[in-house]
Structure 1
Amino acid sequence: MQPPCCCFIPPLFYLLLPSGTWADLKGTFTIRLLQTSTFQNTSFVDTEGLGLLEDIELGSLDKHTWTIHFYQPWVRPALPRSDWDTIENMIKIYLQQFNHLINEGAMQKDVPYPFVAQCMAGCELYPNRTSRSFAYVGYNGQDFLSFDMDKATWVLSQDTNLSRYVQAVLQNYTAFSELVEVFFNDTCVDDMEVLLHYGKASLDRQELPVATVFAHTSSPAQILLICRVTGFYPRPISVAWLRDGQEVPPGPELNTSAILPNADLTYQLRSTLAVAPHDGHSYACRVRHHSLGTRSLLIPWGNSEVVLIAGLGAGLLTAMTMATITALWVWRLRKHQQMEESESRNSIVSKEA
């Protein structure tokens, strides 16, 4: 049995390699290549492939034709059409062999259908030009195997009969393990630099966060202060609560959600702080993001604002009540005047008659 997953890595990786030089970008960058193959039975396999630079989707595979779909306009021009044709042919040959070998191994080890095989591989490039490469294999959504680049060995993520069997198969293919090691340790950084050059505009994109603070009364003894932050890009962000100007440390009263995507390719999250009503402290939500530079967003919340809103509501209600009373009094006065004028006219008519 040949390697089940990671021989997919070199073909997909070439999909992401534009020619050129590295632009002046700062920070840590990651390329990830993802493969998901769902084995419904011995004759039907549904395979998806995706290439990512950070959170930017570069390209994917059509699950029916196994052809490449480009998501960014700067990926396709990186290589001649003939090279893309060669890459697509390599992917198709690989997937045919992959499906056959996985089904063969599943039957040998009595693996029940359906099941899912997943692979993730790539590399990280750090600001000091050092790098880290990685390759992982998953089975039914759980970690299964990983590749130790330094020792060129496959490491068990879970100790089962199936994982030991796959590990032994992969370890016997020393030529393949050497290929993975050399490919990612020696060429990944150079390829990353080229890709960063072509994707500089997309990577430089910045969207300012928009933050709002509001309160929700969860019980008579507790108020939830909610800080909602949305519309920001890139993904990394720092959101903290300040109590009397001091950052609230992690604890059971503090809860921050995961960073979630918006439909417009920006992100959102919310942070919640539980406080006692009228505890006498001032609170503010602080947001730090790359698009803000050295500045921070500071959105305060306080009882004074609630009192102001409540006072405004009471004042408005009083004004409306006074206006209603005044209007009623004016209406009654005019009605009384009209009645007096009518009686006066009737009296005059009566005398003339």
Structure 2
Amino acid sequence: MQPPRRCLLLLSLLYFVLLPGTWADLEEAFTVRLLQFSTFQNTSSVDTEGLGLLEDIELGSLDKHTRKIRFRQPWVRPALPRSDWDTIENMIKIYLQKFHHLVNEGAVQKDVPYPFVAQCMAGCTIYPNKTSQTFAHVAYNGQDFLSLCVDNATWLPSQDTDLSRYAQAVLQNYTAFTELVEVLFNDTCIDDMERLLLYGKTVLERKKLPVATVFACTPSPAQLLLVCRVTGFYPRSISVAWLRDGQEVPPGPDTNTSAILPNADLTYQLRSVLAVAPHDGHSYACRVRHRSLGTRSLLIPWGNSEVVLIAGLVAGLLAVVAVAAVMVLWLWRRRKHRQMEESTSRNSILSKEA
């Protein structure tokens, strides 16, 4: 079976489609991923889709019926002239015809049962220090199949099967293609990434403030989980930490932070959970640091309702006691004053009678 050797040809074409700017001033790493999904129902029926992503931003996709590129961001199409897009689309159509033929030929030769899915992912990451890293992976039916070691241009099987060894041998013997991959990954990806970052600068450099909330849940009477939910922020990099009595809680078994997940509006979200003992007497707060905040931090304290309630009751009782004491003192003084007036009046009457 020979899908891997053709898989990266599509990806190389998609590089020209989706990696059309400078990155000398980058403040964080950016990764472009090119994805191909081919579902082979039988020897005559196959559906193929392609997708290009910059981080989680969808740049473009491949219409599985017309083989035309659908631009998902308005700043991708202007990166290349219209004539270049037409040439690229024609090249993709030719590639897919050969890809489908070769995969089916390999499947018959190696007795691969239908239906099955071939998936390919390739791309590159560039870093603020101007270094880069490229990658290519092939999957078969959702399982890792092959990966490319770009440093020495060798394919490494992800599973020890007859099929993976066969595909590895085919790719290793295809030296012209390996050389093409090296040029594309080591040069073209980075060069085209510059143009892509330039055209998408407004979107990529935008800053969205994080919104954070803290709440608690009780999975058991002996455990309290404090949850800090942070959402709506961009760019992706963020720091979330818990503070106990003003001191940062180090990572450990009591802390658990989720992966950073994308929102539908091209922002991100995550959750951080801290396990504490109920009524442990400490104060807790969630601290958020993000580029959009500059040198400031978000500090969201956890309000323990029981402590607030108890404090409120104590304050109320103290107020009642204070009012009662004042009333008692006032009544006592008034009574004392009345007794003195009555005594003075009585003495006056007795003096007149005498």
Aligned to 2:343: none
Aligned to 1:328: none
1:217 is displaced (CA, Å) by: 2.2
- CA 1:314/1:47 → structure 2, altered by over 3 Å: closer, same or farther? farther
Aligned to 1:8: 10
CA displacement, residues 117-154 of structure 1 (integer Å, 9 cap, x when unaligned):
11111112222222222111111222211112221111
- Contact 1:243 1:284 (8 Å CA) reproduced: yes
Gap regions ≥5 residues in structure 1: 317-353
Counting aligned pairs with the same residue, the percent is: 77
- Contact 1:222 1:275 (8 Å CA) reproduced: yes
1:68 is displaced (CA, Å) by: 0.2
Counterparts of 2:105 and 2:241, CA distance in 1: 53
CA displacement, residues 274-312 of structure 1 (integer Å, 9 cap, x when unaligned):
211111111111112221222221111243x54335776
Larger radius of gyration: 2
1:261 is displaced (CA, Å) by: 2.5
CA displacement, residues 154-206 of structure 1 (integer Å, 9 cap, x when unaligned):
11121111100000111111000000011211222211112111111111011
Counterparts of 2:161 and 2:127, CA distance in 1: 35
Gap regions ≥5 residues in structure 2: 317-354
Q: Please tell me whether residue 48 in structure 1 is matched to residue 15 in structure 2.
A: no
- Contact 1:254 1:272 (8 Å CA) reproduced: yes
Aligned to 2:258: 257
DSSP 3-state at the match of 2:282: coil
CA displacement, residues 54-75 of structure 1 (integer Å, 9 cap, x when unaligned):
2221111012211100011111
TM-score, length-scaled by structure 1: 0.83
Aligned to 1:236: 237
| Counterpart code for 2:125 | E
DSSP 3-state at the match of 1:4: helix
| Counterpart code for 2:298 | L
Counterparts of 2:257 and 2:185, CA distance in 1: 36
* Range that drifts further, 68-77 or 188-197: 188-197
- Contact 1:118 1:138 (8 Å CA) reproduced: yes
Counterparts of 1:202 and 1:76, CA distance in 2: 15
Counterparts of 1:219 and 1:78, CA distance in 2: 56
1:25 is displaced (CA, Å) by: 3.3
Aligned to 2:283: 282
- Contact 1:36 1:117 (8 Å CA) reproduced: yes
Count of matched residue pairs: 314
| Counterpart code for 1:38 | T
Aligned to 2:163: 162
Q: Please tell me whether residue 195 in structure 1 is matched to residue 196 in structure 2.
A: yes
CA displacement, residues 39-85 of structure 1 (integer Å, 9 cap, x when unaligned):
12222212111111222211110122111000111111122211111
Aligned to 1:336: none
- CA 1:82/1:282 → structure 2, altered by over 3 Å: closer, same or farther? same
TM-score, length-scaled by structure 2: 0.83
Counterparts of 1:314 and 1:12, CA distance in 2: 69
1:22 is displaced (CA, Å) by: 5.2
DSSP 3-state at the match of 1:15: helix
Counterparts of 2:283 and 2:314, CA distance in 1: 24
Which runs of 4 or more aligned residues in structure 1 lie more than 4 Å from their structure 2 counterparts after TM superposition? 20-23, 309-316
Aligned to 2:249: 248
* Range that drifts further, 225-234 or 89-98: 225-234
Aligned to 1:295: 296
